[in-house]
Amino acid sequence: MSETTELTSQAEAVLDEAYEQFKQAQLQRTAAEVFADAEKIFAVREMTIATRQYLFDEAIADKVIALGGQVLNHMYDQATQTQFLKLNFTGNDIRWLLGLPRAHRRHR
């Protein structure tokens, strides 16, 4: 298990605030608008959960902090540039969604 650092804690706070803002924006919409965007709402929730799991990666934590309140919009925009939206995220998927290079680890 990894140790929680100040950087990780700060990134968690930024991610939590961005997700809270996203949820509050959804509460201001009509039921029909929310229903129409159900896939996006689910995807953003899943991206938030997955990103939280990889905040121990300093590059990911730094990027989350740098993007601030726009982190989830940035990640969702990046995700929708693909042909389909993946919902089972790896660390490299999160790095890609944040515009970071892949972490290459070779297994022998």
Q: What is the pLDDT of residues 10-53, one digit of tens each?
A: 999 999 999 999 999 999 999 999 999 999 999 999 999 999 99
pLDDT at 83: 59
User: Quick check: 82 pLDDT over 80?
Assistant: no
**What is the spatial distance between Cα 26 and Cα 29, in angstroms, rounded to a whole number?**
5
- Helix, strand, or coil (residue 107): coil
**Residue 55 belongs to some domain of the structure:** yes
**Residue 106 belongs to some domain of the structure:** no
The identity of residue 81, as a single letter, is Q
90 vs 38, higher pLDDT: 38
**Residue 105 belongs to some domain of the structure:** no
Q: What does pTM read for this prediction?
A: 0.81
Q: What is the pLDDT of residues 1-12, one digit of tens each?
A: 457 899 999 999
Q: Total domain count for the chain?
A: 1
**Residue 29 belongs to some domain of the structure:** yes
Supply the range of the domain harboring residue 16: 6-97
* Residue 37 tokens, joined: 């965007």
Helix or strand holding residue 33 (H, E):
helix 31-36
Quote the crossing angle between the two packed helices 38-53 and 6-27, to the nearest 10°: 170
**Residue 48 belongs to some domain of the structure:** yes
